[in-house]
Structure formats: C-alpha cells, structure tokens
Amino acid sequence: GEINLNIGIDKIGFYTPHTFIDMVKLAEARGVDPAKYTIGIGQEKMAVSPVTQDAVTLAANAALRILDEEDLEKIDLVVFGTESGIDSSKAAAVYVHDLLGIQSRARSIEIKQACYGATAGIQLAKGHIALHPESRVLVLGSDISRYGLNTPGEVTQGAGAVAMVISADPRILSLGDQSAYLTNDVMDFWRPTYSDTAYVDGKFSNEQYISFFLNTWKQFKSQTDLSIKDFEAMCFHLPYTKMGMKAMREIFVEGTSEDEERLTRHYKNSTLYNKTVGNIYTGSLYLSLISLLEQDETLKPGDRIGLFSYGSGAVGEFFTGILQPEYKEALAEAEHAKLFAEREEVSIEEYEEIFSEVLPVDGSNLQLTIENDPAMICVAGIEEHKRIYVNKN
C-alpha cells in the first residue's frame, strides 16, 4: 500500500580533501589536448586525497558539517555506501558512529554496489522511517576513485564524501514512493579484492550507463503519470560531467524545446561542484544534487527533481523528489564555499607522489604526520593491523 509519511532528505553536506590538480595541467603532462578533458570529459579540477584521508575520515568529515546534538541522540541507523572500504569484515559505519559520538542504540552497516551504495542506503532508510517515524538515519557515500596514472580513466578520478540525514517531514527534499530499478550482470567496471585501482571497459561502461537510464526512465513513466514536462531538473550520477548530458539528451525527443532548454540550464548548475571534485563514486549523484540546490537561483519549493543513480556491475535506479518550502535555509552552502575556497592546488609531480603514498599492505605499523592535513578527522597511522583515527576537536 501507499506510505502516507513524507520521508526524505533533511540535511545534506559534503567533504573533499584539501588538495586538487588542474585538468589543463594534467592534459599537458599527458600530452593530450586540454579541450578533451575540459570539454570532451567536462572536468576542470580533480580532488587528490592525501594518505591521511580514507573513506572513513572523508565520510566523518562530511557528517561533522551537518549533525547537531539532536541528530546524535536520534540517529539509530548509520548506512555507509562505499566501494573504497578499509576492511572486509568490519563496517566503515561503525568507525564513523564512534568518531561522531552517535548514541549507541543504533544499527551501523556498510553497503556495497559500486556507485549505487548510497542510493541503496536511502531506500533502506525510507523503509526504516516508515516503520519508525521518529528515527533519523545517517546515510553516507564516501570514496576515493583510483584508475592509475597514465590510464584513460585517470581524468575521471576524484575523492570525497556526502552525508545525508533522512527523516520524516524532511526540510530539503521529499522523496516519492515510486522508484524504478534494474539489475543486470555486466562487466563494465570492477575492482578485484587484490587491486587498489579499478578495471574498466570505458566505452562499454558509458553504453551501459545510458541503457540503464533509458530502461529505468521508461519503467518509471509506466509506473506513474509523469513525463519529461513534470521535471524541473534532473540530477545524474556523474563519473564526469559530460556523462549525465549524454544520457539526458536521449530523452529530449520526448519533450518540447522549452523542456530541453530548462533541463539543460539546470544541468549546468548540477555539475558545477562535480567539475571541480571529480568522480566520488557513491557520493557523485548527491554532490550533483547539492550543487544544483546551492548554485541554482531559479529553483523553487514544489519543483520536482529526477534522480538517476548508477552503480557499475550494474544496478540503476530512477526516483524523484519534491523541493520543500524551506530547503534553502537547510543547506550548508556557506560551509561548502569555505571548503572550496581553502583548497590548495598541487602540481602534477606532487599529485603523482601523493598517488603513490599508500598505507602498507604487509601488516607493518606506520605513523603518519597529520599536521599538514587541515581536516578535523584524519588517519594517524596503523598499529597492530588497526587504523588509528584522530578527531582533532
């Protein structure tokens, strides 16, 4: 039956490491025409993660920005979507639960399905809140995307995390009950447990992404009375900012030139943050949503936003949300502007050095210097096979 509760995103914040590279300089270093990266791929800057950040700390730093005392008392489910997990057994959510000081009567779990993990977390949160309307759920999407130096995927790397509080009567986005989803076993992108970089069939992955979008979009329309004209804007999982447009333009034939103009205009705002961060896998769709909500001055309460989530392998989902009356006040726009303003550019040589600095995989101890990392929460090293996390607060 229908769920009568209004459930959705009450808070949304993100974190990205303090260092980045410029894509024009990366193109020059790789002997590629810079326009391929900035226009063909659509990326301007790429976050570079220092060894003192991992999926756990990025997520904890993102959540720090949005949680207050009431959240810490009411959150009873922490769902951590990631494909950059640090342990095959223990959930990354358990570390974040402790680092943030969330009350202990809670479930904390990690979910994996490539870039789809945080969407799975949101859908799980909706069911949980339908049963327990007083609950608040913390959903995290955190990743460090690595394809390797000098690979075609290099330009589509990135690092960062999104944190969301899902609740009843949300202040930002009310999520609809209708959702269209699809699973199909394809090998377009994967990362075997022995590898710290991803394997990818680039062209095939682009095709699968578009095909999953068209399939779930069609399914969504058949489940509802909605069509392209009912959507003020659409947000996409963005492995790079050209990807969502490649998919969206396929459905422009279903609408008028006004629909095309409107969706294209909003799309530009929904890609601004992703253009300067890169692919953050599980967090990418939600980083795009943050970008749209914080940077688009023409959106208004009541507008319907379409959301397309894609996780290679592959699972896709199309769902929608309605902007709530006071969504602007509930955003963390000033915090995000500060985060971007305080980032430092590193040279391509420095980036290559940072890229090669990884935590030991042979079980040896290591102590890291965290003074150079301005993040509140950092990885301080490894002792007896345990990662040491520090909250500087």
DSSP 105-127: S-EEEEE-BTBTHHHHHHHHHHH
Closest alpha carbon to 169 in 133, 140, 124: 133
Q: Give whichever of 3 and 39 is closer to ligand HMG, judged by the CB atom.
A: 39
For the bound state, the minimum distance from the C-beta of residue 195 to ligand HMG, rounded and expressed in Å, comes to 14
For the bound state, the minimum distance from the C-beta of residue 155 to ligand HMG, rounded and expressed in Å, comes to 5
Q: Give whichever of 119 and 167 is closer to ligand HMG, judged by the CB atom.
A: 119
C-alpha to C-alpha distances, 246 to 40, 50, 158, 187, nearest whole angstrom:
11, 32, 20, 21
What b/e sequence results for 241-260 when a residue is b if at least 16 CB atoms lie within 10 Å of its CB, and e otherwise? bebbbbbbeebeeebeeebb
Cα torsion angle, 224, 229, 232, 233, sign: positive
The annotation status of 201 as a binding-site residue, yes or no, is: no
Q: Give whichever of 238 and 331 is closer to ligand HMG, judged by the CB atom.
A: 238
Burial class (CB in 10 A: 0-12, 13-18, 19+), 101: exposed
Measured from each CB, the residue nearest to ligand HMG is 40
- Please give the single-letter amino acid code of residue 63: A
Is residue 114 within 8 Å of residue 239, measured between CB atoms?
A: no
The annotation status of 246 as a binding-site residue, yes or no, is: yes
Q: Give whichever of 144 and 339 is closer to ligand HMG, judged by the CB atom.
A: 144
Question: How many other CB atoms are found less than 10 A from the CB of residue 201?
Answer: 15
| Angle of helix 348-356 versus helix 23-30 axis, rounded to 10 | 90
Binding site for ligand HMG (CB under 6 A): 33, 35-36, 39-41, 83, 114-115, 152-153, 155-156, 188-189, 200, 202-203, 205-206, 209, 237, 239-240, 242-243, 279, 281, 310-312
For the bound state, the minimum distance from the C-beta of residue 217 to ligand HMG, rounded and expressed in Å, comes to 16
Catalytic residue among 115, 232, 317, 378: 115
**Is 317 known to be catalytic?**
no
Helix (H) or strand (E) run with residue 275 in it: helix 272-275
For the bound state, the minimum distance from the C-beta of residue 265 to ligand HMG, rounded and expressed in Å, comes to 20
For the bound state, the minimum distance from the C-beta of residue 6 to ligand HMG, rounded and expressed in Å, comes to 30
Catalytic residue among 237, 317, 336, 378: 237
The annotation status of 90 as a binding-site residue, yes or no, is: no
Is residue 213 within 8 Å of residue 235, measured between CB atoms?
A: no
Q: Give whichever of 198 and 290 is closer to ligand HMG, judged by the CB atom.
A: 198
Q: Give whichever of 19 and 113 is closer to ligand HMG, judged by the CB atom.
A: 113
- Please give the single-letter amino acid code of residue 233: A
**Is 235 known to be catalytic?**
no
Catalytic residue among 44, 83, 110, 294: 83
For the bound state, the minimum distance from the C-beta of residue 310 to ligand HMG, rounded and expressed in Å, comes to 5
**Is 18 known to be catalytic?**
no
> What is residue 128's three-state secondary structure?
helix
Measured distance CA(239)–CA(278) in Å, rounded = 7
The annotation status of 147 as a binding-site residue, yes or no, is: yes
Dihedral of CA atoms 68, 288, 320, 40 in degrees, nearest 10, equals -170
Give the residue numbers of the binding site for (3S)-3-hydroxy-3-methylglutaryl-CoA. 33, 147, 246, 279
Q: Which residues are catalytic?
A: 83, 115, 237
Give the residue numbers of the binding site. 33, 147, 246, 279
